[in-house]
Amino acid sequence: MTVQPIDDYARDLNPEIRAAIHKATTGRVIQREKVLFSDFPHANQMRKWAGELKRHTMSHLNEYLEQAANKMESNGVQVHFASTPESARTQILDIFKSNGVTRFCKSKSMVTEELEVRPFLEEHGIEVWESDLGEFVVQLDNDRPSHIVTPIIHKNKRQVAETFKTHGLGEYTEDPQTLTRQARKFLREKYLSSTGTMTGANFVSAESGRIVVVTNEGNSRFGLAAAKVHIAVVGIEKLVPRDEDLTLFLNLLARSSTGQHLSVYTEFIGGPRSANQPEGPEQMHVVFIDNGRTEVLASDCREALHCIRCGACLNVCPVFRQASGFAYRHTYPGPIGAVLAPNLVGKAGFPELADLPKASSLCGACNEVCPVNIPIPDLLLRLRNRGKESGAPNSKIAAPPMGAWSSLASSPTAWNLALKGGHLMNVLPQRMIPVPAMQTWLKDRVLPDWQGGQFRKWMKNRASNKI
């Protein structure tokens, strides 16, 4: 194979979708820059602090995780741990079944996508409703989210209109406001007739044991008002040491993600509802998930665990914009996905995704916008190396023959010959160049005329004429 899988996706991507993704992501990049730096001229210092604080937290992860779990238990939360998706799904099913929950609304959570919670629970007779508008459309279409913040960045309003009509949400309309009202009406009935609710968590404070859930739609707030049993599914890397540390992370998160100074709803949930409340969960369960995270922690890519899922690196990435989220073949797309995905799948899954670290020009924009300053290009290089060391066939796709290049570049005679021979390329058709990677490159491009050797000639003359 001479073409990387991501190039295939990019080639086959519907131009309309590409245009929509381009528009949405560039808008976000501009908005981020404007809001972040006008509010915090020293935002780059904040990004460094946030990265250092995450590095500190990860190097003490066992202590902070224990502190958080103990605090939660003393707050009346039932804490569970799941090292595999199977274990997580079974435990979640047990909690709902033992409480007689047959229907629940969930808010957006990438870790539940990772664990494929919804299809599993549906198979076991539990009705699940995604309540984030984008995720709701994804559910109705039996599709997958293609961006971690904007799940239906790959769909337009006509497609949403078709979906809502097919599922009987109301009259066909392409007006986003009317479509949103249709979803509001439909899901409100689901909320009010559900006894369960599920959220993820953006952060967990080890100090207070509170989970932080951020949304714009208020969907998690509605779930936490209407339901009796709350399950929060949380990756073990979501910890921050203290409540005060959230000053840093909350100020960075929404600005990096959507260019807002704060998302509309920021919830700090410490436990079941208080005694005076008529509404809200009587039980709160937190399920801490490993699913490959401790393997990432043990690897040379542990900084990938600092990610707070803002999506800024997706928005700024030229490869993501061309290829779309599905091209990454995993829950997490974009530059951070290219690092996280091949790591989270473990040693057994790595070969399959070993091409992803090469789905990058290493331009470094992802690192520059990252609110926790993850050195994504460095991590991509480490993964490329891992691919090479492990001999994973996918890591070699479309790789130019660097061995030949290396012997050429280390012998002055061979180099000189090659420079002279290069002039042949101006005469011979370019499609005759016998290097597959070169052929792929030439499919959409033309080489400029060969001018090699001029510099050496000039240098030689310069030496003899003593100019």
Partner 1 sequence: MSQDRRIIFQNIKSALDGVDKVARPQIDFSILVAEGKIDQADPWLDFKKTFESVRGVFCDSVEDLVAFIKNQNLTQGYCDPGLKECLGDPLSAYFTIEYEYPRERVNDLSFAITCGSHVIAETGTIVLKDHDSVNRLATVAPWLHIAAVETPNIHPTVRDALLAFGDDPNIVWVTGPSKTGDIEGILIEGVHGPGEQVCFRI
Distances (CA, A) of 255 to 30, 204, 221, 262: 11, 20, 21, 7
Site membership for partner 1, residue 169 (CB under 8 A): no
List binders of partner 1 among 85-104 (CB under 8 A). 87, 91
List binders of partner 1 among 177-216 (CB under 8 A). 177, 179-181, 183-184, 187-188, 191-192, 208, 210, 216
CB of 195 vs partner 1, minimal distance in Å? 13
Q: Tokens for 10, please give them.
A: 């990019």
List binders of partner 1 among 216-245 (CB under 8 A). 216-219, 221-222, 224-226, 236, 241, 243-245
Site membership for partner 1, residue 137 (CB under 8 A): yes
List binders of partner 1 among 378-437 (CB under 8 A). none
Nearer to partner 1, 46 or 313 (CB): 46
CB of 100 vs partner 1, minimal distance in Å? 18
Site membership for partner 1, residue 162 (CB under 8 A): no
Site membership for partner 1, residue 297 (CB under 8 A): yes
Query: Hunting for tokens 């530059």 — which residue is that?
Result: 335
Among 1, 16, 19, 27, binds partner 1 (CB under 8 A): 27
- x-or-dash string of contact with partner 1, 40-79, rule CB under 8 A: xxx---x--x--xx-xx-xxxxx--xx--------xx---
Among 119, 176, 318, 421, binds partner 1 (CB under 8 A): 176
Three-state SS for 203-216 is EEECCCCCEEEEEC
First-last CA distance in the chain: 51
Instruction: List the one residue out of 109, 169, 99, 114 whose CA is nearest residue 137.
Output: 169
CB of 102 vs partner 1, minimal distance in Å? 18
Nearer to partner 1, 275 or 467 (CB): 275
Residues near 154 by beta carbon (within 8 Å), at least 6 away in sequence: 17, 20, 21, 146, 147, 324, 325, 326
Q: List beta partners, residue 230.
A: 197, 284
Instruction: List the one residue out of 10, 36, 22, 30 whose CA is nearest residue 255.
Output: 36
Q: Tokens for 9, please give them.
A: 């996706």
Secondary structure (3-state) at 124: coil
Residues near 386 by beta carbon (within 8 Å), at least 6 away in sequence: 300, 350, 354
Nearer to partner 1, 207 or 368 (CB): 207
Among 5, 85, 196, 280, binds partner 1 (CB under 8 A): 280
Site membership for partner 1, residue 134 (CB under 8 A): yes
List binders of partner 1 among 434-463 (CB under 8 A). none
CB of 106 vs partner 1, minimal distance in Å? 13
Site membership for partner 1, residue 30 (CB under 8 A): no
Among 10, 111, 121, 160, binds partner 1 (CB under 8 A): 160
Site membership for partner 1, residue 17 (CB under 8 A): no
What is d(CA 76, CA 53) in angstroms, rounded to the nearest whole number? 28
What is d(CA 91, CA 108) in angstroms, rounded to the nearest whole number? 20
What is d(CA 278, CA 376) in angstroms, rounded to the nearest whole number? 47
